[in-house]
Structure 1
């Protein structure tokens, strides 16, 4: 009797049926979390690249301009930016400024901002982020911020902003003028 019990016990321990199902049940949640994390990071990276490309496109568009700009034109550039990043105005920050370098320092010639941003002041110019230009040159500075929420927030990723800055010299004129 005892030998029979030992034999059936060994047979039960040696039975490998159902092992794959148990292994799958243990590893499936890990694979799902890994997949969701990869998709979330991909979407965040894609959104970051879209925001950066849109910012540089607006900067390039303005640098090729030869006519003075007005608020209506600058509002149109913001609408173009919103189309390129597929966001609403509430989820973006947008500011365009024309800077002039004189005496080794930058000053603001004009600035167009969409709320909640305010117009750029000379004291707030991000000089560390600007390229080196000669005295008398000007720059068109496009500053944008696009907020994002992670696709699957339960994975430890938090909401934030993709902040971009594009500084371009006007190509065909010394400085871009703004008419009111």
Structure 2
């Protein structure tokens, strides 16, 4: 029995002093953490780029609408294509667009004069009060507000998981711009 214990003791000492394979064990412990960090940084950078493109799309739509004194539903409908074009090279199907003309009265209260959204309905009733940033509520002026909503699907986070809420990021951008010509922008058939 003593010989068996002495042999086992020698093997344990030899195994403890053997350094072969230490790098492989360390790599196996650290690699999953590094891969998750890499995938997470990739997801964050793509989501930030999509968010920036969405902001640019909102400002472009507002800029185009404010260049005319009168717009129509068909013209506003073409703004969905404009927003999708600005979102290139990212996926843009499912982008939701709302455009509203807001007249600000003498007391600084904004009210919707017309509104349109991508399904050709009116999201805000005519005359409904609209919340505005304090800096933009200048009495006796007019604003065009564009609201773009987009659900960005994450690419790499557990692609097979269906019941996880973290697979989609809801993004929304709102942009206000004043008309360029005349006192307001009207919609003839909204």
Please list, as runs of the form range in 1=range in 2, the aligned pairs for 1:1-180 lying within 5 A after superposition. 6-63=9-66, 65-85=67-87, 86-88=91-93, 91-104=94-107, 105-115=109-119, 118-121=122-125, 122-123=127-128, 125-127=130-132, 129=133, 131-154=135-158, 157-180=166-189
Inter-CA distance 31–156: structure 2 relative to 1 (3 Å threshold): farther
Aligned partners of 1:40, 1:117: CA distance in 2, in Å? 35
Contact 1:43 1:151 (C-alpha < 8 Å) held by counterparts: no
Aligned partners of 2:134, 2:41: CA distance in 1, in Å? 34
Count of aligned residue pairs for this structure pair: 176
Tell me how far 1:75 sits from its aligned partner.
1.1
Tell me how far 1:50 sits from its aligned partner.
0.8
- Scaled by the length of structure 2, what TM-score is found? 0.80
Contact 2:110 2:129 (C-alpha < 8 Å) held by counterparts: no
Q: CA RMSD in A?
A: 2.4
User: Runs of 5+ in structure 1 lacking a partner?
Assistant: none
Inter-CA distance 156–140: structure 2 relative to 1 (3 Å threshold): closer
Aligned partners of 1:116, 1:34: CA distance in 2, in Å? 43
User: Runs of 5+ in structure 2 lacking a partner?
Assistant: 159-163
Aligned partners of 1:14, 1:156: CA distance in 2, in Å? 49
- Scaled by the length of structure 1, what TM-score is found? 0.84
SS at structure 2 position matched to 1:103: coil
Q: Which runs of 4+ in 1 moved over 3 A?
A: 1-9, 153-158
